[in-house]
Amino acid sequence: MISKCANPECSQPFHYLREGRLFQVTRDHAGRLLGGAFSIGEGGPPHRMEHYWLCGACAQRYTLVIDPERGVVPASMPPAAAGPRRKAA
């Protein structure tokens, strides 16, 4: 259950998906975070889906990445990606 923004420096509570960005990650049967597509191995337990949310303000500056040592953590987006989106002329 998502209760607040995934940025540990932000305390914005989660109420609805009207703003911000939702992320989905999976863990294998051993609890390791997986990046990308996954498949369930024969005879093994299913993978577990986890959801993380960045509030609107944090989603403008950060994305979430999988760090092998710290788990799911916010990372700054490159300036071009963080700025407002413009239509090509």
pLDDT tens, position by position, 27-83: 776 666 666 544 444 445 556 788 899 999 999 999 998 888 888 899 998 776 555
> What's the pLDDT at 42?
46
52 inside domain: yes
> What's the pLDDT at 26?
81
Q: How many domains does the chain have?
A: 1
50 inside domain: yes
86 inside domain: no
- Residue 53: beta bridge partners? 22
Give the Cα separation of 62 and 84 in Å (integer).
14
> What's the pLDDT at 40?
45
CB 26 within 8 A of CB 48: yes
CB 82 within 8 A of CB 51: no
> What's the pLDDT at 66?
86
Amino acid at the residue 70: R
79 inside domain: no
CB 61 within 8 A of CB 21: no
88 inside domain: no
> What's the pLDDT at 79?
72
- Which structural domain, as residue segments, surrounds residue 32? 1-38+45-66
17 inside domain: yes
